[in-house]
């Protein structure tokens, strides 16, 4: 079973030492009650995995929409990791290998969608905004024993249409193959608020600052600062979805005060944190 090792503050040693104590995550292996098909294109479930569980890498011939209604999921596919907070959903196309880490206690809807019914990309994962209607459709289909055949077909068709119109969020984080850059990125994922500079990270990884900067550009097509900001943004949305106060979110993501955090958030997403949370409350209503 894969092991996750939490780094000690200011050190990358524990990330590179397999003998170090590790927290073992329970394995969760959900199975759909039926395969989606042309006649029955959407199969939905409400999942309740064990806290902090892991779903090992796997793939399936249908698309999947995972929608946490409480807690968050971390999903990795194709060298990119997405942090999916409550009231957002991630689209995973057919035949794309992916693994899932459950962050804390989570309940989520899993919708399996037949390839011929997929309205989203057949190649790329994406994090989506979830409208109140989309949430209600997933809930209805997950409890389809209360629906008649005609209503279930209508709900499935409308869900596919609603997915096609769902706005996307840029919450994906590209992951490197270079071992030194992997250590840096995984350490930052454990502590997104870290204020260490690239020069300070260089001293901890054994690579020069110039080498790390070059690796960010060549492997991740971005700078260290931009990658870290994207990580902080994803972490902030997760914290906000858990109801954390704005000042707490700012501190946890490395900002001295809420105003500086709000400026970054507005520039990145085109809306203030308060506007973002107001949309979440409308989905919950």
Query: Residues of 54-93 as b/e, b for ≥16 C-beta within 10 angstroms?
Result: bbeeeebebbbbbbbbebbbbbbbbebbbbbbbbbbbbbb
What DSSP state is assigned to residue 194?
Answer: -
Instruction: Tell me the β-bridge partners of 64.
Output: 92, 112
What CATH number does domain 177-284 carry, 1.20.1250.20, 1.10.10.60, 1.10.10.10, 3.40.50.300?
1.10.10.60
- Using only C-alpha atoms, what is the Rg of the chain? 20
How sure is the predictor about 284, in pLDDT bands with cuts at 50, 70 and 90? low
How sure is the predictor about 6, in pLDDT bands with cuts at 50, 70 and 90? very low
Query: What integer pLDDT is reported at residue 23 of this predicted model?
Result: 63
Cα angle: 149, vertex 153, 154; to 5 degrees: 120
Listed in order, the ranges of the chain carrying CATH 1.10.10.60 are: 177-284
Return d(Cα 204, Cα 59) in angstroms, integer.
36
Query: What integer pLDDT is reported at residue 118 of this predicted model?
Result: 84
pTM for this structure? 0.73
Q: Is the pLDDT of residue 205 over 70?
A: yes
User: What tens digit of pLDDT does each residue of 161-186 get?
Assistant: 999 999 888 778 888 989 999 999 98
The percent of residues above 90 in pLDDT, for the chain, comes to 53
The CATH class for the domain spanning 26-169 reads mainly beta
Listed in order, the ranges of the chain carrying CATH 2.60.120.10 are: 26-169
Q: Is the pLDDT of residue 139 over 80?
A: yes
Rounded alpha-carbon distances, angstroms, from residue 266 to 88, 103, 239: 18, 26, 16
User: What tens digit of pLDDT does each residue of 56-78 get?
Assistant: 999 999 999 999 998 889 999 98
And the tokens for 130? 């979830």
With tokens 């914290």, the residue in question is: 239
The percent of residues above 70 in pLDDT, for the chain, comes to 89
Give the residue-averaged pLDDT of 35-51: 93
Strands 63-77 and 88-92 turn out to be: antiparallel
Q: Is the pLDDT of residue 54 over 90?
A: yes
Give the residue-averaged pLDDT of 219-242: 89
Q: Is the pLDDT of residue 16 over 60?
A: no
**SS3 of residue 7 by DSSP:** coil
């Amino acid at each position: 079973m894969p092991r996750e090792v939490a780094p000690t503050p200011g050190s990358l040693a524990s990330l590179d030492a397999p003998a170090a104590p590790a927290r073992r995550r329970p394995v969760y292996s959900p199975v759909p009650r039926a395969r989606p098909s042309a006649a029955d294109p959407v199969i939905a479930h409400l999942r309740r995995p064990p806290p902090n569980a892991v779903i090992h890498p796997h793939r399936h011939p249908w698309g999947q929409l995972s929608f946490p209604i409480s807690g968050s999921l971390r999903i990795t596919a194709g060298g990119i990791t997405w942090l999916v907070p409550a009231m957002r959903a991630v689209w995973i196309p057919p035949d794309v290998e992916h693994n899932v880490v459950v962050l804390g206690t989570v309940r989520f809807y899993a919708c399996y969608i037949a390839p011929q019914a997929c309205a989203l990309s057949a190649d790329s994962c994406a994090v989506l905004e979830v409208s109140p209607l989309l949430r209600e459709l997933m809930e209805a289909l997950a409890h389809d024993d209360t629906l008649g055949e005609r209503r279930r077909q209508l709900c499935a068709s409308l869900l596919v249409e609603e997915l096609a119109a769902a706005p996307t969020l840029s919450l994906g984080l590209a992951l490197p193959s270079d071992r030194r850059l992997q250590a840096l990125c995984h350490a930052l994922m454990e502590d997104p608020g870290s204020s260490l500079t690239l020069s300070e990270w260089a001293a901890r990884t054994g690579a020069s600052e110039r080498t790390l900067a070059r690796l960010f550009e060549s492997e991740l097509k971005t700078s260290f600062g931009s990658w870290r900001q994207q990580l902080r943004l994803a972490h902030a949305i997760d914290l906000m979805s858990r109801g954390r106060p704005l000042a707490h979110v700012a501190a946890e993501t490395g900002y001295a005060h809420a105003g500086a955090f709000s400026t970054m958030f507005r520039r990145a997403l085109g809306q203030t944190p308060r506007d973002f949370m107001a949309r979440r409350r409308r989905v919950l209503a």
